[in-house]
A and B are shown apart, each in its own frame.
Chain A
Amino acid sequence: MRLATAASEAYTTPLAVSELLGCKQCAAGRDQDEVPGRGAERAAGYPGGWAPRRAILQVGSEDAQMHALFADSFAALGRLDNITLVMVFHPQYLESFLKTQHYLLQMDGPLPLHYRHYIGIMAAARHQCSYLVNLHVNDFLHVGGDPKWLNGLENAPQKLQNLGELNKVLAHRPWLITKEHIEVSNEGLLKAEEHSWSLAELVHAVVLLTHYHSLASFTFGCGISPEIHCDGGHTFRPPSVSNYCICDITNGNHSVDEMQVNSAENVSVSDSFFEVEALMEKMRQLQECRDEEEASQEEMASRFEIEKRESMFVFSSDDEEVTPARDVSRHFEDTSYGYKDFSRHGMHVPTFRVQDYCWEDHGYSLVNRLYPDVGQLIDEKFHIAYNLTYNTMAMHKDVDTSMLRRAIWNYIHCMFGIRYDDYDYGEINQLLDRSFKVYIKTVVCTPEKVTKRMYDSFWRQFKHSEKVHVNLLLIEARMQAELLYALRAITRYMT
């Protein structure tokens, strides 16, 4: 109730946003013994992210549309989280994102509220994203969740434990999902006993899992700082370090990067300027000579295979062993199960033909049937993310970026073994350079390993808002890929 009244204030008075943040702190302070004095150092509301402070929108300078979004978000969540503050670079998307998230977490649905947050925690913990975990631990307790569950998955009800396996596979190797995961069998979810899931519940859970897997990608991909009321959120850190996500610090792999970051910034401007030019040139070429040299069918097929195989070896050199942050690790039973070990061994990823099972025709119908309205919301979100463009590239205006966006989208799907028959995968090689591929790969598959150096080293001339845009594409493509595999398995189960 307190939240509701606070929100109505936010509507009626044209708030200077510092006040708004003030509300946020007191609203959020419900479960934290926060010392206001310490929080005040960050009161300017720096949401983190690897974009420098000046590039991030200062709360208070937003336009009317953004303000309305902030107000809505605040009313729904009782806070203005850092993800929102970073995403507001793209208000159109943010609106759809918030609507979907609100529906998933708070509106009518087959799962009880605390289950939803717990599933969010499970999903985020798969990627050791302490930011999201902390956020949802608070929410989970707030909606009346049992604190005991937080001591680990084995303390949660059997029903949620059963979801653990699906969560694991979905996060790291979605192509391995079969209808046996769903089926009425030993490991399946729809067992005919009390801990079983109904199909509607299962779809809700799957949507939540994929949502939070990809949101974890976003959090790491943009380097979102912890909320001010969360652990580590209110510690004062000198500006140079505050660019790091707390998870990186706990992971202990930042000290090396620190030096390299600075050196990376010294790369001559002219050098990176040419990067953009070269990219645009390639796009132009592809546009023009596309019809001239037609690759043979075999060529096209092999290009996809090559790209898929290569994508497995695209990895930053510094993937040392990571010890997960302690507070999060309790949510997995099996930390060793990750993307990494399969890529090292070059496991074969089967090809998934999108023409046989695509989101628009099949996925949508299934989701909407089992969890009404959500299909529509997610569909809108995919559409906005896929079609979002400002026709700019770095300093250039009026550029048709559809080709580039499609290359990014299809590259991510390619990593998951999803193939578009009508796409020439040679384009990917032309348009995405290695450092960019490394970044994409890391964000999508092992987000916990993203470093600021990776973020800085691709597309150096591009604006931060554009890099956030890339991240939006990444997370939506990832979510769709995971959903496609999961929904296909459910469809197969149903037929």
Chain B
Amino acid sequence: MEKMSRVTTALGGSVLTGRTMHCHLDAPANAISVCRDAAQVVVAGRSIFKIYAIEEEQFVEKLNLRVGRKPSLNLSCADVVWHQMDENLLATAATNGVVVTWNLGRPSRNKQDQLFTEHKRTVNKVCFHPTEAHVLLSGSQDGFMKCFDLRRKDSVSTFSGQSESVRDVQFSIRDYFTFASTFENGNVQLWDIRRPDRCERMFTAHNGPVFCCDWHPEDRGWLATGGRDKMVKVWDMTTHRAKEMHCVQTIASVARVKWRPECRHHLATCSMMVDHNIYVWDVRRPFVPAAMFEEHRDVTTGIAWRHPHDPSFLLSGSKDSSLCQHLFRDASQPVERANPEGLCYGLFGDLAFAAKESLVAAESGRKPYTGDRRHPIFFKRKLDPAEPFAGLASSALSVFETEPGGSAMRWFVDTAERYALAGRPLAELCDHNAKVARELGRNQVAQTWTMLRTIYCSPGLLPTANLSHSVGKGGSCGLQLMNSFNLKDMAPGLGSETRLDRSKGDARSDTVLLDSSATLITNEDNEETEGSDVPADYLLGDVEGEDDELYLLDPEHTHPEEPECVLPQEAFPLRHEIVDTPPGPEHLQDKADSPHVSGSEADVASLAPMDSSFSLLSVSHALYDSRLPPDFFSVLVRDMLHFYAEQGDVQMAVSVLIVLGERVRKDIDEQTQEHWYTSYIDLLQRFRLWNVSNEVVKLSTSRAVSCLNQASTTLHVNCSHCKRPMSSRGWVCDRCHRCASMCAVCHHVVKGLFVWCQGCSHGGHLQHIMKWLEGSSHCPAGCGHLCEYS
């Protein structure tokens, strides 16, 4: 506390002096209130009720109002208020529902004046009329507000809030007859003191209880409210409907709010739970508090500005049994600690940088950037001389563009859109993607795709080995393989037939035929399992022989699958089937392994009459070779993926991951994969490539990623007639019993996809509207609007 200083202010004759100080109370305080002369403060709590004199150096206990041997619940105060006109008059609200007034002028030790026991529940708040000497208002948990005339024994009038629990009542400072009350259900009501039958105005201010409110001391119609929803809102009550002027988001529920005197936009808040600090906010700057008092060790329960015209002294009471006087000068100012700089990357590689103007000016003066195109744009706020932090408010924004035209990321979008990730055999996907990359001038990537294709799709070693060892048997051997593991459904005759053909020696054309048909069959069989092209590729390699023949094959090969590729990707399918977790690695492992096992068996069988040792040797050699590529290269491929990801080209990493599927997945740990996927999806969504990102999500095998498009799949609709949400069904409103969405073409209810023109809001079934628009561009409803659909 070495920063403490003394401040002396002269206010129309009276002089306020003091420093930041605190004193220990015997018990937790619930509320405090200041006397009109700003020299005394009353502290009230469950077991404390004392008046302290505020002296220059310290608080001095002046009077203990808690007299009598037995503690009474009447003295257990929830709130206390000191009359602003009469220095001798105080009122307290007791937790048992009693309102007590105290007259300090009484000669006896017991200053208790009057007792009102009209409320049935705890009284949360009492409030004196700002100018009238005898009018007291109370708000209670039982939902009633009562107005007492202190000259009478009982209440003058009772106001029913039609709700449980009044949390705060405050007389308007300027309007003689008006007071505001806040409620546990989030409402704020405005009452005329003369009309107890109904409130003048009611509106919902907060979500959850409104704990407090405070009228602006100068601005006639401003009311600040604080609630459990951690917000402070400032309302303009002069207009017909209460208008929210400002909203401050705090970090804990707001227990008290008090406007700062002489500072039009400042208010002080304290919270009910968790947060012990007192904040002073500038309502126009709702994110950073203007000042912060951190003296208390437990929640602050009461705050009061010491003098109605002095903005520098704040008093507070707390549950930590202490009473504090805070000096605004000693407050910590979070603004000073905040970094007034902001830095952001744009989508297309631009960089924006905002900072205090002085800072930017100094730096650019010192060392101008070279090579960068720089377009500094300056925003200057209009300076308000009355503004305490005007200096901070002016800032500069600089934007750095990487290249003119902003086409730097064009390749990303193009690639994302044009890459094929699934639905075709591996070889073809690789080729396609390589082509795309090459067209975009990314040769390294293109090369990578080609290499991948070579690694995974063309086991060229096997046939050469086969041929070199046993030219005559190569064919039959391959066919055996094929028969045993792939074409279970093929007619056995077909296999034998080919074998016959093959043995004749001119096998080429036939095998081509056979191959395409075989792939066709296997693909049909395996359509729903991922990686169905694995066996097909093996098949190709086995039967064929040389690399270039594979290329020859390609056109025919694609043919049977073409329809699948042409199918447009619907923006969102009506209902995509919910697939269980994708097949586990062991399943595919089986598939990959099966060729060897069954192949060797078949070989043994077919080669039995021959010299077995020789043939076995040859076959095993061949199989070894054929097995080599995928496993051998997987480390390399993994490193390659990591390389691309490190380089920032996560697109490549994910695309390869998807295309290769199970071949590489097991080599890369789950978390890395998930990380790549999420980064890529995030990027795609920034570029608004929703369809691509959805496809990636769908194709991913990581559980965490694939559940992304299964979360929050509900679409809430409101009825077009009564504007209420339609809860049970999307097409019939429960309230007005009307069908909400009719198709303008067929005049039936649309239960699925509903498309409508945003100009005239007519619409209907997607197909119907599409069909209609082929013939006419006018609205099918006949409204004459020229409908536009994107």
B97 touches A369 (CB 8 A): no
How many whole Å from B377's CB to the nearest CB in chain A?
A: 39
A422 touches B96 (CB 8 A): yes
Q: Answer whether residue B101 sits at the interface, using C-beta atoms and an 8 A cutoff.
A: no
B580 touches A495 (CB 8 A): no
Within the complex, which residue of A1, A5, A355 is in contact with B46, where a contact is CB–CB below 8 Å? A355
- Residues in B whose Cβ lies below 8 Å from that of A356: 46
A362 touches B122 (CB 8 A): no
A422 touches B580 (CB 8 A): no
Assuming the contacts A1-B578, A369-B274, A421-B96, asked whether A297 and B184 have C-beta atoms less than 8 A apart, the reply is no
Q: Answer whether residue A294 sits at the interface, using C-beta atoms and an 8 A cutoff.
A: yes
A130 to B211, CA, bound (A): 44
How many whole Å from A382's CB to the nearest CB in chain B?
A: 12
Identify the stretch in B70-78, B144-152, B451-459 within 8 Å (CB) of chain A at 4 or more residues.
B70-78
B276 touches A495 (CB 8 A): yes
Q: Answer whether residue B121 sits at the interface, using C-beta atoms and an 8 A cutoff.
A: yes
A364 touches B297 (CB 8 A): no
A361 touches B273 (CB 8 A): yes
Q: How many residues does chain A have at the interface if contact means C-beta atoms less than 8 Å apart? A: 28
Q: Answer whether residue A96 sits at the interface, using C-beta atoms and an 8 A cutoff.
A: no
Residues 324 to 383 of chain A near chain B (Cβ within 8 Å) = 353, 355-356, 360-362, 364-366, 369, 376, 379
How many whole Å from A425's CB to the nearest CB in chain B?
A: 12
B46 touches A294 (CB 8 A): no
Within the complex, which residue of B119, B122, B252 is in contact with A365, where a contact is CB–CB below 8 Å? B252
Assuming the contacts A1-B578, A68-B728, asked whether A355 and B76 have C-beta atoms less than 8 A apart, the reply is yes
B273 touches A362 (CB 8 A): yes
- Would you give the 0/1 interface string for B492-508, flagging 1 where the beta carbon is closer than 8 Å to chain A? 00000000000000000
Q: Answer whether residue A156 sits at the interface, using C-beta atoms and an 8 A cutoff.
A: no
Task: Kindly state the interface size class of chain B when it binds its partner.
Answer: 35 or more
How many whole Å from A142's CB to the nearest CB in chain B?
A: 15
For the residues of B in contact with A, the DSSP-based class is loop
B252 touches A355 (CB 8 A): no
A362 to B211, CA, bound (A): 12
B120 touches A422 (CB 8 A): yes
B95 touches A355 (CB 8 A): yes
- Residues in B whose Cβ lies below 8 Å from that of A421: 73, 76, 94-97, 122
Q: Which residue of chain A is the closest to B209 with respect to CB atoms? A: A360
A297 touches B273 (CB 8 A): no
- Residues in A whose Cβ lies below 8 Å from that of B41: none
How many whole Å from A350's CB to the nearest CB in chain B?
A: 15
Q: Answer whether residue A143 sits at the interface, using C-beta atoms and an 8 A cutoff.
A: no
B252 touches A369 (CB 8 A): yes
A321 to B518, CA, bound (A): 77
A177 to B402, CA, bound (A): 62
Q: Answer whether residue B64 sits at the interface, using C-beta atoms and an 8 A cutoff.
A: no
Assuming the contacts A294-B117, A355-B76, A422-B121, asked whether A1 and B580 have C-beta atoms less than 8 A apart, the reply is yes
A205 to B121, CA, bound (A): 33
Q: Answer whether residue B228 sits at the interface, using C-beta atoms and an 8 A cutoff.
A: yes
A364 to B228, CA, bound (A): 9
How many whole Å from A94's CB to the nearest CB in chain B?
A: 16
- Residues in A whose Cβ lies below 8 Å from that of B273: 361-362, 365-366, 369, 491
B211 touches A361 (CB 8 A): yes
How many whole Å from B73's CB to the nearest CB in chain A?
A: 5
How many whole Å from B713's CB to the nearest CB in chain A?
A: 12
A297 touches B70 (CB 8 A): yes
A355 touches B272 (CB 8 A): no
Assuming the contacts A365-B228, A422-B122, asked whether A494 and B274 have C-beta atoms less than 8 A apart, the reply is yes
Q: Answer whether residue B466 sits at the interface, using C-beta atoms and an 8 A cutoff.
A: no
Q: Answer whether residue A57 sits at the interface, using C-beta atoms and an 8 A cutoff.
A: no
Q: Answer whether residue A301 sits at the interface, using C-beta atoms and an 8 A cutoff.
A: yes
Q: Which residue of chain B is the closest to A363 with respect to CB atoms? A: B273
- Residues in A whose Cβ lies below 8 Å from that of B119: 422
Residues 292 to 346 of chain A near chain B (Cβ within 8 Å) = 294, 297-298, 300-301
- Residues in A whose Cβ lies below 8 Å from that of B184: 360
- Residues in A whose Cβ lies below 8 Å from that of B350: none
Q: Answer whether residue B253 sits at the interface, using C-beta atoms and an 8 A cutoff.
A: yes
B209 touches A365 (CB 8 A): no
A356 to B301, CA, bound (A): 11
Assuming the contacts A355-B122, A364-B228, A421-B122, asked whether A301 and B274 have C-beta atoms less than 8 A apart, the reply is no
- Residues in A whose Cβ lies below 8 Å from that of B121: 422
- Residues in A whose Cβ lies below 8 Å from that of B94: 421
A466 to B238, CA, bound (A): 49
Residues 60 to 85 of chain B near chain A (Cβ within 8 Å) = 70, 72-74, 76, 78
Within the complex, which residue of B72, B141, B276 is in contact with A422, where a contact is CB–CB below 8 Å? B141
Assuming the contacts A421-B76, A421-B95, A421-B96, asked whether A365 and B70 have C-beta atoms less than 8 A apart, the reply is no
- Residues in B whose Cβ lies below 8 Å from that of A364: 208, 228
- Residues in B whose Cβ lies below 8 Å from that of A399: none
A297 to B193, CA, bound (A): 32
B253 touches A365 (CB 8 A): yes
Q: Answer whether residue B298 sits at the interface, using C-beta atoms and an 8 A cutoff.
A: yes
How many whole Å from B422's CB to the nearest CB in chain A?
A: 22
Q: Which residue of chain B is the closest to A71 with respect to CB atoms? A: B728
- Residues in B whose Cβ lies below 8 Å from that of A4: 578
Q: Which residue of chain B is the closest to A370 with respect to CB atoms? A: B274
- Residues in B whose Cβ lies below 8 Å from that of A494: 274
- Residues in A whose Cβ lies below 8 Å from that of B72: 297
How many whole Å from A172's CB to the nearest CB in chain B?
A: 27
- Would you give the 0/1 interface string for B85-111, flagging 1 where the beta carbon is closer than 8 Å to chain A? 000000000111100000000000000
Q: Which residue of chain A is the closest to B70 with respect to CB atoms? A: A298
Q: Which residue of chain B is the closest to A421 with respect to CB atoms? A: B95
B578 touches A300 (CB 8 A): no
Q: Point out which of B228, B276, B298 has the most chain A C-beta atoms below 10 A from its C-beta.
A: B228
Q: Which residue of chain B is the closest to A387 with respect to CB atoms? A: B164
- Residues in A whose Cβ lies below 8 Å from that of B96: 297, 300, 421-422
Q: Which residue of chain B is the closest to A362 with respect to CB atoms? A: B273
B297 touches A355 (CB 8 A): no
- Would you give the 0/1 interface string for B258-281, flagging 1 where the beta carbon is closer than 8 Å to chain A? 000000000000001110100000
Residues 288 to 344 of chain B near chain A (Cβ within 8 Å) = 297-299, 320
Q: Which residue of chain B is the closest to A296 with respect to CB atoms? A: B72
- Residues in A whose Cβ lies below 8 Å from that of B208: 364, 376, 379
- Residues in B whose Cβ lies below 8 Å from that of A1: 578, 580
How many whole Å from A383's CB to the nearest CB in chain B?
A: 9
- Would you give the 0/1 interface string for B43-57, flagging 1 where the beta carbon is closer than 8 Å to chain A? 000100000000000
- Residues in B whose Cβ lies below 8 Å from that of A422: 95-97, 119-122, 141
Residues 252 to 303 of chain A near chain B (Cβ within 8 Å) = 290, 294, 297-298, 300-301
A362 touches B74 (CB 8 A): no
A289 to B208, CA, bound (A): 35
B117 touches A365 (CB 8 A): no
- Residues in A whose Cβ lies below 8 Å from that of B580: 1
A491 to B46, CA, bound (A): 19
A369 to B272, CA, bound (A): 12
- Residues in B whose Cβ lies below 8 Å from that of A298: 70
B73 touches A301 (CB 8 A): yes
A355 touches B78 (CB 8 A): yes
How many whole Å from B367's CB to the nearest CB in chain A?
A: 47
- Residues in A whose Cβ lies below 8 Å from that of B76: 355, 421
- Residues in B whose Cβ lies below 8 Å from that of A366: 273-274
A353 to B78, CA, bound (A): 12
A353 to B274, CA, bound (A): 19
Q: Which residue of chain B is the closest to A290 with respect to CB atoms? A: B120
Q: Which 6 A-B pairs have the closest CB atoms?
A: A421-B95, A365-B273, A355-B95, A297-B72, A421-B96, A422-B97
**What are 23 of the A-B contact pairs (CB < 8 Å)?**
A5-B578, A294-B117, A297-B96, A301-B73, A353-B46, A353-B95, A355-B46, A360-B209, A361-B253, A365-B228, A365-B273, A366-B274, A369-B273, A379-B208, A420-B122, A421-B73, A421-B76, A421-B94, A421-B96, A422-B97, A422-B119, A422-B122, A491-B273
Apart from A360-B165, A361-B228, 17 more pairs, CB < 8 Å: A4-B578, A297-B72, A297-B73, A355-B46, A355-B78, A362-B273, A365-B252, A365-B274, A369-B252, A376-B208, A420-B122, A421-B94, A421-B96, A421-B97, A422-B95, A422-B122, A491-B274
